[in-house]
Amino acid sequence: PPLPRSVSAQLRRAPGTGPGSTARGLYGSTAGANLARAGTAEVIGTFVLVLAGTAAAVASSSRDPKPYDLLTVVLAFGLALAALAAALGHVSGAHLNPAVTLGLAATRRFPARAVPVYLACQLLGAVLASLTTWAFYGDEGRTQSRLAATLPAEGVGSGRAFFVEAVITFVLVLVVISVATDDRAPSASAPLAVGAALAVCVAIAAPVTGGAVNPARAFGPMVVAGVWQDAWLYLVAPVVGGVLAAVVYDRVLAPAEAPETA
């Protein structure tokens, strides 16, 4: 009998750019098969993810006495991503982050034609989440807490903040691609792994940059609260980290499986 197709071949399969092209996506989804359905999932998923984290952050900073602390915000982001990966991963791949989408596209793991749809849906979901956080907490949440917009901490320059955001997004995207595309990784653990990775990244970076790890998460509060300080940093640095992670995994780690036997 013929040998089974190698994992490497599956991972490196070029998705193509034609109208009917599809590819194996994150969590076993079929990237490019139904963009209307996938885009809807990306709007909903990004909405829930950004709402969970930013609402918790606003509650921790704008209420007196403070009901939450940084640990709650970290857990809100991490648990939300884990739940969404499990719930929507099979529909759209649960990217919920332009850095993930662009990283996958850069290594031909995601159809180029679907990238604009995913990015637009992610940004829309984030803006809707920030509008909802504003509705929850009122003008106090927008003016005092700025809807949890990400900003470098006092004394942190743009260069250091850029480096931090790029590094933590590298970690997140490396974990996402590793556990959600590689058949060698236990599929049941993928949502928990990506949620834990996001929680760790936010915990590391929050005191320095606010811990965006996601251009969409930064974009929503920016637009709704009107906070544009260092906006370029939060839109570019995560993409640099995400693309670099995808390239490193594709070129270095993905081919590391043991040779096949008959």
The residue with greater pLDDT, 12 or 227, is 227
pTM higher than 0.75, yes or no? Answer: yes
CATH number of 30-253: 1.20.1080.10
Q: Is 9 a residue whose pLDDT tops 60?
A: no
Confidence at residue 257, expressed as pLDDT on a 0 to 100 scale: 53
Q: Are 46 and 126 in contact (CB under 8 A)?
A: yes
Confidence at residue 1, expressed as pLDDT on a 0 to 100 scale: 42
pLDDT by residue (tens digit) across 59-78?
Answer: 988 666 666 788 999 999 99
Mean of pLDDT values over 87-111: 95
The residue with greater pLDDT, 83 or 27, is 83
**DSSP annotation of 229:** T
Alpha-carbon 7 to chain mean position = 24
Confidence at residue 15, expressed as pLDDT on a 0 to 100 scale: 42
Cα torsion at 26, 28, 34, 39 (round to 10°)? Answer: -40
Instruction: Give the whole-angstrom CA distance, residue 147 versus residue 131.
Output: 9
Res. 16 pLDDT band, cuts 50 70 90: very low
Mean of pLDDT values over 105-127: 96
Residue found by looking up tokens 């850069």 in the block: 106
